[in-house]
Structure 1
Amino acid sequence: MSIAELADVTAAHPVLRELRPNLAPLEEFRAQAEQQQAAGYRLIASLDGNGEIAAVAGFRTGRSFAWGHYLYIDDLVTLPAARKQGHAKALLDWIDAEARRLGIGEIHLDSGTSRHDAHRRYRGTGFVIPSLHFSKPTPEA
């Protein structure tokens, strides 16, 4: 298993669809990914023994009054056939090292309330649940 930063995000599209089934078709996805990359989004992959992508993590850095200099994990997913083989932990370890390298004080992520296996992984790697995240659609005018 090895970790690689992906300059071309198209290879991650089928893996990200596991987490986000409503993900845009490939060309739309590529255009949005390029916009996100221009704003600092980075995508890394955990490769299996054959060099195939088994898991991906997408993240960005920022600054806020609430968190200071932070790293936010937008996407973290492992293909079903590759789960429980250490890919998510390897990605999270790489992100920890990158956050240290960048002098970042905190790493954040949100996770759907029904993703219990993911929650166990996050808690097992030092994440805590310090707050609840609320959202709502923008009211129509």
Structure 2
Amino acid sequence: MDTMIVKELESPKEMLEAFPVMNQLRTHLDEKTYLDLVIEAKEKDMYRLFALFDQGEIVAVIGFKPMITLYYGRFVWVCDLVTDQTKRSNGYGERLLSYVHEWAEDHEYRSVALSSGLQRTDAHRFYEEKMGYDKVSYVFKKNIISSK
């Protein structure tokens, strides 16, 4: 029997339950900032947050948003993907990312894209070798307003 289920996290309570795992990727966020950003992104930017549960425990989290650009057309942008550090190499990231691939296809989005920090070589290997992603660009960032 499969003990794994993917569930969308919709209430603030559910979103907060995912914070300990998400915080392993987004270490700069405290609970309040995380929750405020998730709620705002859901309301204004179609952000979706899903968790993979194994035997009732959150083991991985993914956040994504459907988008349309001239470059990609209709696509899904994966904003956040993290597996609990104590549960890695169990196929959880593959399961969640495959779920997003299915979601994209079901909703008529043509592709899935993401960026990954330069230092995350294990993640890059996962995306390219395990999930069949291609490197198609560099992502550049310029801070406009300094954080206080």
CA distance in 2, matches of 1:28, 1:75: 15
SS at match of 1:19: coil
Determine which of 41, 58, 70 is the counterpart of 1:36.
41
Q: CA deviation at 1:28?
A: 2.9
SS at match of 2:23: helix
Which segments of structure 1 move beyond 6 Å, counting only runs of 4 or more? none
CA distance in 1, matches of 2:145, 2:100: 36
After superposition, what is the alpha-carbon deviation per residue over 1:57-111, rounded to whole angstroms, capped at 9, x for unaligned?
Answer: 0000111111100100000001111100110000011001000001101111000
Q: CA RMSD in A?
A: 1.4
State the aligned residue count.
138
**Which residue identity is paired with 2:6?**
I
Match of 2:132 in 1: 126
Match of 1:94 in 2: 99
CA distance in 2, matches of 1:63, 1:100: 14
CA distance in 1, matches of 2:124, 2:101: 17
**TM-score relative to the length of structure 2:** 0.88
Structure 1 unaligned blocks of 5 or more? none
CA distance in 2, matches of 1:95, 1:139: 32
**Which residue identity is paired with 1:2?**
I
Task: Answer yes or no: is 1:12 the counterpart of 2:18.
Answer: yes
Q: CA deviation at 1:35?
A: 0.7
Question: Which stretch shifts more, 128-137 or 83-92?
Answer: 128-137
Identity %: 32
CA distance in 2, matches of 1:14, 1:74: 17
Match of 2:54 in 1: 48
CA distance in 2, matches of 1:126, 1:37: 28
SS at match of 2:18: helix
**TM-score relative to the length of structure 1:** 0.92
Q: 1:3 to 1:139 in 2, by over 3 A?
A: closer
After superposition, what is the alpha-carbon deviation per residue over 1:15-36, rounded to whole angstroms, capped at 9, x for unaligned?
Answer: 111001111x223322221111
